[in-house]
Structure 1
Amino acid sequence: MNRKNALAAAVAAALALGSVTVVAPQSTAAAGNSAARPGAGFQAMTADARGEAIRTADRNAAATARALGLGPDERLVAKDVLIDADGARHVRYDRTYRGLSVIGGDLVVHLTADGTITGSDLAHQGAIRIADTTPKLTAADASAAAVKHAKHVRNAKTKGSDGSTLMVYAVGKVPVLAYRSTVTGAGEAGPATRQAVIVDASSGAALDQYELHQNITGTGNGVTVGQVSIETTQSGSGYTLTDAAHGGTIVYDSYNSPQSNPRQNARTFSKTTNSWGNGTTSSRESAAVDASYGLAKTWDYYKNSFNRSGIRNDGRGAPAYVHVDTGLLNAFYDDDCFCMFFGDGSSQNGNTPVTALDVAGHEMSHGVTAATANLTYSGESGGLNEATSDIFGTMVEFYADNTGDPGDYYIGEKLNMSGGYMRRMDNPSADGNSLSCWTSGAGSVDVHYSSGIGNHFFYLAAEGTGAKTIGGRSHNGTTCNNDTFTGIGKDKAAAVWYRALSAYMTSTTNYSGARTATLQAAADLYGTNSQERYLVSKAWAAVGVGTALPDPGTPTPSPSTPTPSPSTPPSGNALTNGTFEQGTSGWTQSDDIITNSTLQLARSGSWYAWMMGYGADAVESLSQSNIAVPSAGTPKLTFWLKVTTQESGSTAYDTLKVKVNGTTLATYSNANASSGYVQRTVDLSAYKGQTVKLEFAGTEDTYLSTVFLVDEIAIG
């Protein structure tokens, strides 16, 4: 769990659940207990019970906001509530600022059954403060800027001022007043691709952009599920493809309505007999059978595995449309209309529908992600979004146990792709585009390719390393660090991922944050000292994210083990990754400090350390241990520092301290503000020949922000 999950001080507030007391977060599972907790640890809830839990959370929202230390202009809006088997609650909120929606403002609050807050996960840490909510740009100006910035569509256009909405963009450390514009044009998702573009409301600069259709793109090979049973509804003397057993899900024939308005010509499938399709594209019903079957199996998987009732856990089915547009090699979920759409393919694949079982599971899972963590569809969070759909699309395939489409870790293997699949979870880079291992540039890669990191992690966590045949297909669990280990099984791995997604991830979670979330979920389900949690950490290390935890089965050294003589100079390592171009490698950070965000600039390269800048009470630390200080000459620490602040005067309100072995050697503050990077030097003569821990410790007071940017750190 991220920094500030344990709130700084106990805050009492009268809630319907009881008196709120804030304590440090801890695992709810007994250490070493590896017994499975069904439903990923969550209780089954009726729609009425869930609705009442959300209403209770809304009534408690103001007190919860105060307990979290949010500002007076912020409001929390309850989105969902999950209840553990022991009554503990995980309440997911969105937040607003002076009535404006906040992108990156979502959070999860964790409470015991009696209302004690045990922790929180916030997409944006701390309170949000913006000097002025009056934009310099008009909505029409923002729309024009969005069209200019749109990268993923051709012939971009918006609806002018109606296409842009004013909101707060809080994905970076410093919240910005911004416009969110919807841009349409020709792109990868088809001739009516929709893209969100976020622009600064003062300057019109692009802050972020991503596709709104979260899609799985490719060619299909026709009807894939074979002869199956599907749920229908009798209406008068006929039948319709309405699945009352799964929330009233209805499959419509779009009748080739354009992608820009796929419901334009839509009509229900209805007939006097209850036999549908003929297994080929000569019947328009055949694609509808595929879709109905796939969506029902996806619903059943979530219900029977995690006690989840539908996409939004409210028992409501999402309508689906087949035969969308003409020549559409795409399927997608759209949260704006709570709908799913399936194209018919094109001449490249014999005009066969894109309605395979793992496609249906993939698209419906995009809806589950939108209803839970709502992972932003760009950067590393976008890769996690896609990986989540691949993971659960795959699990649906295993769950369905369809002899014509057995479970495996290939994505879209029934879609007649030229390489035989769209993606492979066991070896993502085999497609020539996807990432198998995390790199510092992962956030700049297309989300369908950066998803490979999450896919690879999941495969290794589930199956472990080595060659296997699964579902009749060859799999080979290779790693990025040449490690070998066993997996915990696909059902346990899926339970860990679902709990992490539902209870701990937020819209801005990156791969490092996903590791933290899954380790917490594994601790909740199987115990802090369980083999499951240990193997989850091994799987993350195997794809280049973090290091493995100590094996809980390895005995600790005896206290009588002799220690080195104090007179022997300790050995150590040279400071590593001082430029941060290898991401977090070598460093321990209390939050997502090491970044390549374009909201600030590195002194060189693209990566740097961004510390503080919250405009609220906050602390952060960045450290590296086991550093060998040279034993000759006059050793020193050098680094480049840029300080920008909203404070004024020479009083040090916000500070950055340089510590060695816990001793402060230098302090910088808002009073050291500079227009650019300034090289700083710290004498390390007192530590000649020693092995030390170097730490940068930031502290910020209640009001006004100060940003400390650090780059190019060296000891010599």
Structure 2
Amino acid sequence: MSPLYARHKRTTLAIATAVAAGALLSTGLTTTASAQPTTHRPAAAPAALSATAHASLMQKAQDDAATTAQSIGLGAKEKLVVKDVVKDVDGTVHTRYERTYAGLPVLGGDLVVHTAESGRTEGVTKATKAAIKVASLTPRITPAKAAQQAVSAARTLGSAKSSTDGARKVIWAANGTPVLAYETIVGGLQDDGTPNQLHVITDAATGKKLFEYQGIENATGTGKTLYSGTVSLTTTQSGSSYNLTDASRGGHKTYNLARKTSGTGTLVSNSTNTFGTGTASTSSSDQTAAADAAYGAQETWDYYKNVFGRSGIKNDGKAAYSRVHYGSSYVNAFWDDSCFCMTYGDGQGNADPLTSLDVAGHEMTHGVTANTAGLDYSGESGGLNEATSDILGGVGVEFYANNAKDPGDYLIGEKININGDGTPLRYMDKPSKDGGSADSWSSSVGNLDVHYSSGVANHFFYLLSEGSGAKTVNGVSYDSPTSNGSKVTGIGRDKALQIWYKALTTYFTSTTDYKAARAGTLSAAKDLYGSGSTEYNTVAAAWSAVNVS
């Protein structure tokens, strides 16, 4: 799970949004906001697959997993478990696997096998190059010791839990030599009210803490929204009432938690097919936030389907769900993969719901990342995780929606006034303008909060899309510098998005750092546009401009 903001002195996270929306539908059928035309995708771009076709590819890959493991040189104790399959327009298949060793999950052992239409294996992308082998599967420390350490770590985040929510033996292979370890999880709440799901990895031989990461990842009907104006929503009629169930997009539902911090909440419904008033309210029964959340969910679904051929977060045709009015004066939004849902707070004084369009796209994209590359939410991979949500979810969804009340830009959280002075949460053209984010890579970037280390990738994406120097897009002025003084000419946002998505889904793994991200995006650009193409060369130039080589 990952919250939307980085917290300053444990007060606020690094992203938030507020929305007021309404829905109108006269029948049980649904209508939607007008979709953007499906763009032509290159031969190496992902093909649109039906849920049945995707499930069939997944099943075939799992049936062939033993043969695949042998063919790519895995050991006798290793097995492959299919996580996802992407098929390109030209028939190339990219199968993402998790690994087990002697029946234990291998954390950091994920890999992607690239197979030509002919069935020939063209390459393997691995999270670790180390051979998976441990001397003993018998721990030297007790589970209780690992649990005690995990609880102590969680307390530093404000959790009051005195016991763990679960523990298991694993093989830790994310860095260095693989070792037997415990993965221990501690729940409860962090000190700002965000749910806690701290994963602590402990060496089972020495008791040394190897790694920790937070599992919470920061989010015809007519909707009267707070930020996006009056929009079309898809709703469902049930008897004499209407509810925010979008049957046309995998069954997405929007629930009201009414200030609670657990449970699913109550499905948002109304006697008329209009939801929200278009104005902010401090009432926990107000439906404006729900309308905004529903609008964000439908635009994000349509964006991934029409731009990348992806049917839902897991690419299986099934929707997540949204929860609004979480907690009291909760200034954040987050994605939780364990419930497969988005959750939105109402902001300071319960007057500013964090349900704007870019926040909704950001949160749901955490789900896409979790179900593709699975980028670890710590260090440089954590920064890439956050940046992916800003790039694909924040910028991509906002430009796709083409909403006159919230036009596309390279700013994150610009509508929600989280800083209290009208400034955005993050800037892509020069990330350091937020006071904490990195404009370019340095050896210390991995030590920053992931919402700030993300600046390197956000800046890369802006340069790749728009280029360096001064420019005005949709009425917003930008002036992007480069770390090496070079001049970069952008290739356009649409191509940049295709490159990032393909890299995420076919070349990034759980341990990808900035150097590996450069390699992955270059591979994606080569697949899509050719080695030596303008697009390929600009990817290289944009990374060099943020000091990644």
- The reply to whether TM is greater than 0.5 is yes
- Find the aligned partners of 1:385 and 1:158 in 2 and give their Cα distance: 30
**1:394 matched to which residue of 2?**
395
Does residue 360 (structure 1) correspond to residue 364 (structure 2)? The answer is: no
Deviation, structure 1 residue 150: 4.1
- Find the aligned partners of 1:184 and 1:442 in 2 and give their Cα distance: 28
**2:513 matched to which residue of 1?**
510
Q: Aligned runs of 1:123-138 on 2, under 5 Å?
A: 123-138=127-142
**2:466 matched to which residue of 1?**
463
Relative to structure 1, the CA distance from residue 75 to residue 426 in structure 2 (aligned partners, 3 Å threshold; closer, same or farther) is same
Deviation, structure 1 residue 172: 1.2
**2:326 matched to which residue of 1?**
324
Give the AA of the match of 1:276: F
Deviation, structure 1 residue 138: 2.6
**2:114 matched to which residue of 1?**
110
- Find the aligned partners of 1:375 and 1:310 in 2 and give their Cα distance: 19
Rg larger for = 1
**1:249 matched to which residue of 2?**
252
* Residues 479-516 of structure 1, C-alpha deviations (whole Å, 9 max, x = no match): 11111121000000000000000011100000000000
Give the AA of the match of 2:67: A
Give the conservation status (yes or no) of the 8 Å contact 1:39–1:306. no
**1:269 matched to which residue of 2?**
268
Corresponding residue SS for 2:395: helix
Give the AA of the match of 1:146: A
Deviation, structure 1 residue 38: 4.6
- Find the aligned partners of 2:43 and 2:200 in 1 and give their Cα distance: 37
Deviation, structure 1 residue 137: 2.4
Does residue 428 (structure 1) correspond to residue 428 (structure 2)? The answer is: no
Q: Aligned runs of 1:411-490 on 2, under 5 Å?
A: 411-418=412-419, 420-490=423-493
Q: Aligned runs of 1:692-711 on 2, under 5 Å?
A: none
Deviation, structure 1 residue 156: 5.0
**2:297 matched to which residue of 1?**
295
* Residues 71-112 of structure 1, C-alpha deviations (whole Å, 9 max, x = no match): 111110111111111211101101111111111011000011
**1:370 matched to which residue of 2?**
370
**1:344 matched to which residue of 2?**
346
Relative to structure 1, the CA distance from residue 344 to residue 158 in structure 2 (aligned partners, 3 Å threshold; closer, same or farther) is same
Give the AA of the match of 1:470: V
**2:17 matched to which residue of 1?**
none
Give the conservation status (yes or no) of the 8 Å contact 1:437–1:543. yes
* Residues 272-295 of structure 1, C-alpha deviations (whole Å, 9 max, x = no match): 210111012336110011000011
Relative to structure 1, the CA distance from residue 331 to residue 262 in structure 2 (aligned partners, 3 Å threshold; closer, same or farther) is farther
Give the AA of the match of 1:416: N
Corresponding residue SS for 1:199: strand
Q: Any unmatched runs of 5+ in structure 1?
A: 1-34, 217-221, 547-716
- Find the aligned partners of 2:192 and 2:414 in 1 and give their Cα distance: 20
- Find the aligned partners of 1:184 and 1:239 in 2 and give their Cα distance: 35
- Find the aligned partners of 2:370 and 2:191 in 1 and give their Cα distance: 21
Relative to structure 1, the CA distance from residue 158 to residue 249 in structure 2 (aligned partners, 3 Å threshold; closer, same or farther) is farther
Corresponding residue SS for 1:521: helix
Deviation, structure 1 residue 175: 0.7
Give the AA of the match of 2:332: N
Deviates more, 1:144-153 or 1:43-52: 144-153
**1:410 matched to which residue of 2?**
411
Does residue 384 (structure 1) correspond to residue 388 (structure 2)? The answer is: no
Corresponding residue SS for 1:293: helix
- Give TM-score scaled by structure 2 length: 0.88
* Residues 523-565 of structure 1, C-alpha deviations (whole Å, 9 max, x = no match): 111111200100111000000001xxxxxxxxxxxxxxxxxxx
**2:18 matched to which residue of 1?**
none
Give the AA of the match of 1:353: P
**1:23 matched to which residue of 2?**
none
Corresponding residue SS for 1:455: helix
- Find the aligned partners of 2:459 and 2:187 in 1 and give their Cα distance: 33
Question: Which of 284, 287, 293 in structure 2 is aligned with 1:285?
Answer: 287
- Find the aligned partners of 2:351 and 2:216 in 1 and give their Cα distance: 21
Relative to structure 1, the CA distance from residue 274 to residue 39 in structure 2 (aligned partners, 3 Å threshold; closer, same or farther) is farther
- Find the aligned partners of 2:156 and 2:477 in 1 and give their Cα distance: 35
**1:140 matched to which residue of 2?**
144
Question: Which of 121, 126, 133 in structure 2 is aligned with 1:122?
Answer: 126
Give the conservation status (yes or no) of the 8 Å contact 1:69–1:126. no
**1:154 matched to which residue of 2?**
158
- Find the aligned partners of 1:365 and 1:100 in 2 and give their Cα distance: 29
Q: Aligned runs of 1:158-177 on 2, under 5 Å?
A: 159-160=163-164, 162-177=165-180
Q: Aligned runs of 1:494-533 on 2, under 5 Å?
A: 494-533=497-536
CA RMSD across the alignment: 1.7
* Residues 186-213 of structure 1, C-alpha deviations (whole Å, 9 max, x = no match): 5366254332211111222111112211
**2:243 matched to which residue of 1?**
240
Deviation, structure 1 residue 185: 5.3
* Residues 221-275 of structure 1, C-alpha deviations (whole Å, 9 max, x = no match): x9211111100011122211000111100000111112xx242xx1111122101
- Find the aligned partners of 2:160 and 2:478 in 1 and give their Cα distance: 42
- Give TM-score scaled by structure 1 length: 0.68
**1:68 matched to which residue of 2?**
72
Give the AA of the match of 1:153: L
Corresponding residue SS for 1:154: coil
Corresponding residue SS for 1:105: strand
- Find the aligned partners of 1:148 and 1:112 in 2 and give their Cα distance: 49
- Find the aligned partners of 1:337 and 1:158 in 2 and give their Cα distance: 23
Corresponding residue SS for 2:343: strand
Give the AA of the match of 2:161: K
Relative to structure 1, the CA distance from residue 270 to residue 121 in structure 2 (aligned partners, 3 Å threshold; closer, same or farther) is same
Give the AA of the match of 1:380: E
Relative to structure 1, the CA distance from residue 320 to residue 492 in structure 2 (aligned partners, 3 Å threshold; closer, same or farther) is same
- Find the aligned partners of 2:329 and 2:185 in 1 and give their Cα distance: 24
- Find the aligned partners of 2:445 and 2:480 in 1 and give their Cα distance: 21
Relative to structure 1, the CA distance from residue 445 to residue 243 in structure 2 (aligned partners, 3 Å threshold; closer, same or farther) is same
Query: Identity of paired residues, percent?
Result: 51
Give the AA of the match of 1:141: K
- Find the aligned partners of 1:168 and 1:93 in 2 and give their Cα distance: 15
- Find the aligned partners of 2:106 and 2:256 in 1 and give their Cα distance: 37
- Find the aligned partners of 1:255 and 1:101 in 2 and give their Cα distance: 38
Does residue 227 (structure 1) correspond to residue 226 (structure 2)? The answer is: no
Question: Which of 99, 103, 117 in structure 2 is aligned with 1:99?
Answer: 103
**2:23 matched to which residue of 1?**
none
- Structure number having the greater helix percentage: 2
Give the AA of the match of 2:278: G
Give the conservation status (yes or no) of the 8 Å contact 1:153–1:185. no
Give the AA of the match of 1:60: D
Deviates more, 1:487-496 or 1:474-483: 474-483
- Structure number having the greater strand percentage: 1
Deviation, structure 1 residue 163: 2.4
- Find the aligned partners of 1:215 and 1:61 in 2 and give their Cα distance: 33
- Find the aligned partners of 2:286 and 2:109 in 1 and give their Cα distance: 44
